């Protein structure tokens, strides 16, 4: 066992999202892999493991803790202009070659991430909530690594956050189980899901299954949580007109009100030699989303180069109700209750009750 594994194993508690089976075998319920583990063995994520017939899970530390604009997550329809205290741990149940957070997500899997231990520091749920309140954050977000595999830790924080009226969100790959979603449901306001591709063979290369992610999108929407979906558009992988249309049509089949963010890939991790996504590709993807019937389509990561697709428009009269540049709001014209100031159409989302037309 390496030094990173030893250190992380000390910062664990017995989990809640698992089943005990015969012969001290455990079945994890945190993600759709549903790993079966015997004594001393780890799940796919590498950070949940069986010790003495019990499943131990990450607890009591963060490898990242930062206040960000909520638009950076990205959520464009949850308290726009608000701040989110974002925390993350180490590990992931996927191994995407284009991961933009591989330093934390691939801990215990990629030797290059072993230095991530330097980022890990012990902290309590009470301390995290206190940081959020001191910083003026309105939201607490679990991100940076895959939050599903550290759901027990997230819930311990979210319980306290709710008591002081903070909203809680997940930024996830969507490889969830119904059990995990029900476990999280009482605490979450929003759930951002990466829909990386509509090709199952590509998902399997990353360590996942397309159907599981599609099922999660449907289930999160049916649960009544606010959902936004992101597709990182990677040249040569998922940027064909046919696949982008298939993605958009799937989202429309769930709800045309789901915001779809098409974002630009930049060379990183094992795809450092690949070309970055040009602005014209994002513009084409956004136009495809609108053509498919999505009412709110956004293009990200290329501020100032994607025109209207940084801002929010009334789907009825096309009035610009929130104008953005990158993560910054330049004007906010929504009327009370999230309504268009011109035609009165209510926009879907989670809007501040005390903010209206204060550009």
Share of the chain above pLDDT 70, in %: 97
- What pTM was computed for the model? 0.96
Interatomic CA distance for residues 35 and 68, integer angstroms: 33
Average model confidence (pLDDT) across the chain: 95
Instruction: Say yes or no to pLDDT of 271 above 80.
Output: yes
Instruction: Say yes or no to pLDDT of 117 above 80.
Output: no
Per-residue pLDDT of 160-213, as tens digits, reads: 999 999 999 999 999 999 999 999 999 999 999 999 999 999 999 999 999 999
**Residue 118 confidence (pLDDT):** 77
Do residues 27 and 41 lie in contact, with contact meaning Cβ atoms separated by under 8 Å? no
Distance set, CA 193 to CA 74, 174, 199 (Å): 10, 5, 16
Instruction: Say yes or no to pLDDT of 115 above 80.
Output: no
What is the band of 1 on the pLDDT scale with cuts at 50, 70, 90?
low
Residue ranges, CATH 3.20.20.70, the chain: 61-314
- Beta strand spans in 23-110 (E): 26-28, 36-37, 49-51, 54-58, 61-62, 64-69, 83-88
What does R_g of the chain's alpha carbons equal in angstroms? 20
What is the band of 273 on the pLDDT scale with cuts at 50, 70, 90?
confident
Instruction: Say yes or no to pLDDT of 133 above 80.
Output: yes
Q: What are phi and psi of 160, to 5 degrees?
A: -70, -35
Q: Which of 43, 54, 57, 49 is nearest to 12 (CA)?
A: 57
Instruction: Say yes or no to pLDDT of 128 above 90.
Output: yes
**Residue 358 confidence (pLDDT):** 62
Share of the chain above pLDDT 90, in %: 86
Per-residue pLDDT of 79-101, as tens digits, reads: 999 999 999 999 999 999 988 88
What is the band of 61 on the pLDDT scale with cuts at 50, 70, 90?
very high
Question: Residue 105 is inside which H or E element, if any?
Answer: helix 102-105
Instruction: Say yes or no to pLDDT of 359 above 70.
Output: no
Instruction: Say yes or no to pLDDT of 343 above 90.
Output: yes
**Residue 357 confidence (pLDDT):** 66
**Residue 20 confidence (pLDDT):** 97
Distance set, CA 344 to CA 116, 257, 309, 336 (Å): 49, 17, 22, 10
**Residue 219 confidence (pLDDT):** 98
**Residue 353 confidence (pLDDT):** 80
Work out whether the CA dihedral 115, 116, 119, 125 comes out positive or negative. negative
Pick the CATH number of 61-314 from 3.30.365.10, 3.20.20.70, 3.90.1200.10, 1.10.1060.10: 3.20.20.70
**Residue 232 confidence (pLDDT):** 97
Q: Which residues of 305-343 are buried (b: 16+ CB within 10 A; e: fewer)?
A: ebeebbbbbbbeeebebbbbeebebeebbbbeebbbeee
- Per-residue pLDDT averaged across 290-318, rounded? 96
Interatomic CA distance for residues 209 and 220, integer angstroms: 17
Q: Do β-strands 328-332 and 49-51 pair in parallel, antiparallel, or remain unpaired? A: unpaired
Interatomic CA distance for residues 333 and 322, integer angstroms: 6
Per-residue pLDDT of 12-53, as tens digits, reads: 999 999 999 999 999 999 999 999 999 999 999 999 999 999
């Amino acid at each position: 066992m390496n030094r990173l594994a030893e250190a992380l194993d000390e910062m664990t508690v017995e989990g809640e999202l698992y089943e005990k089976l015969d012969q001290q075998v455990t079945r994890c319920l945190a993600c759709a892999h549903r790993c079966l583990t015997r004594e001393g063995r780890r799940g796919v994520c590498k950070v949940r493991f069986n010790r003495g017939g019990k499943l131990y899970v990450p607890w009591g530390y963060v490898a990242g803790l930062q206040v960000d604009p909520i638009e950076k997550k990205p959520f464009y329809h949850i308290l726009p202009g608000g701040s989110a205290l974002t925390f993350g741990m180490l590990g992931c149940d996927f191994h995407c070659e284009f991961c933009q957070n591989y330093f934390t997500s691939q801990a215990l899997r990629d030797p290059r991430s072993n230095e991530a231990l330097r980022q890990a520091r012990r902290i309590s749920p009470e301390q995290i909530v206190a940081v959020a309140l001191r910083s003026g954050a309105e939201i607490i977000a679990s991100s940076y690594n895959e939050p599903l595999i550290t759901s027990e830790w997230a819930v311990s924080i979210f319980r306290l956050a709710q008591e002081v009226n903070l909203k809680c969100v997940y930024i996830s790959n969507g490889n969830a189980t119904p059990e995990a979603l029900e476990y999280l449901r009482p605490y979450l306001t929003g759930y951002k899901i990466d829909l990386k591709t509509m090709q199952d063979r590509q998902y399997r290369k990353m360590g996942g299954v397309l159907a599981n992610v599609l099922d999660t999108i449907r289930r999160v929407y049916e649960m009544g949580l606010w959902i936004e979906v992101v597709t990182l558009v990677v040249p040569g992988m998922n940027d064909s007109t046919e696949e982008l249309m298939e993605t958009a049509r799937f989202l429309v089949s769930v709800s045309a009100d789901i915001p779809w963010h098409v974002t630009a890939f930049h060379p990183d991790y094992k795809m450092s030699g690949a070309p970055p996504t040009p602005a014209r590709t994002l513009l084409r993807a956004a136009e495809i989303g609108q053509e498919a019937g999505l009412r709110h389509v956004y293009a990200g990561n290329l501020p100032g180069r994607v025109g209207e697709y940084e801002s929010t428009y009334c789907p009825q009269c096309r009035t610009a109700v929130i104008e953005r540049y990158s993560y910054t709001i330049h004007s906010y014209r929504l009327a009370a209750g999230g309504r268009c100031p011109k035609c009165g159409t209510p926009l879907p989302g989670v809007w501040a009750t005390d903010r209206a037309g204060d550009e």
